[in-house]
Every structure is written in structure tokens, then in C-alpha cells.
Amino acid sequence: MPSSQYPKLPHWMALPETKEDLDYAQLPAVDLDEATTALGRAKLSKQVVDALVQCGSFYVVNHGYSSTQMDRMHDIANLPFEQLSMGQKQDYTTDSRRRESKSLTDGYKFRQYYV
């Protein structure tokens, strides 16, 4: 699939890994190789629920995306953070700290929102 079919986007570059000795969270991995059978999917659904309840997040392995596809997804995901104006971001902001929203996940959150 030629990349000329898609709009050109600024390329997102990950920051270099820190040299600090940090206590990182150990996120559970969900292996999609197990999704080929009904039993495997049932096992995966329990793993996902457990991961979200216990850790709030997880990462996926053996998803089948190429590095080129992953790069494109990162480029797209970065657009709202780097390419929208402050006014555009403000249009989608909800300040749940002031009870304007019932959910902590509603709306755009500016940097250092949770500080």
C-alpha cells in the first residue's frame, strides 16, 4: 500500500530513554497469538479485564502490525498534541476537577493537568 494514498503528517519521534534509575510499573502483556481460538479469546478477555482492574493499562504483543504501520499510528496519535492550536484544544477540554464532567477521562487534558 503506497504511502501516497494518505495525508502527509509530521513524523513523531520518541524521546530518548532516560538514564535515571526509575521504578517503572510492570505492565502486563496481552499476547494476541492466543486469539486464534475461542478458548484463547476467552483467556485474553480475562487477562485484559484483570490488567485494567489491577494496573489500569497493558501492552499488546504479536499484534501483527509492521514497524511502518506502528510509526504511522504514532504520527496520527500525536496530531492533537502538537498540531492543534490552543483554541482548538480548549474546545474539547473538560475540567473534571470542577465537576463539569462526571468522568476523569472526558475531554482533552492539558499538560500537567494532574499535578
| Residue 53 forms part of a structural domain | yes
List the domain range (segments joined by +) for residue 50: 29-92
Tell me which residue of 50, 43, 4, 2 sits closest to 27, measured CA to CA: 50
Mean pLDDT score of the chain? 84
One-letter-per-residue 3-state SS of the chain: CCHHHCCCCCCCCCCCCCCCCCCCCCCCEEEHHHHHCHHHHHHHHHHHHHHHHHCCCCEEECCCCCHHHHHHHHHHHHHHHHCCCHHHHHHCECCHHHCCCCCCCCCECCCCCCC
pLDDT, one tens digit per residue, over 18-55 is: 999 998 888 999 999 999 999 999 999 999 999 999 98
| Residue 77 forms part of a structural domain | yes
Q: Span 69-88, mean pLDDT?
A: 89
| Residue 10 forms part of a structural domain | no
Question: Number of folded domains in the chain?
Answer: 1
Q: What is the pLDDT of residue 88?
A: 83
| Residue 14 forms part of a structural domain | no
* pTM given for the model: 0.64
| Residue 75 forms part of a structural domain | yes
Q: What is the pLDDT of residue 25?
A: 82
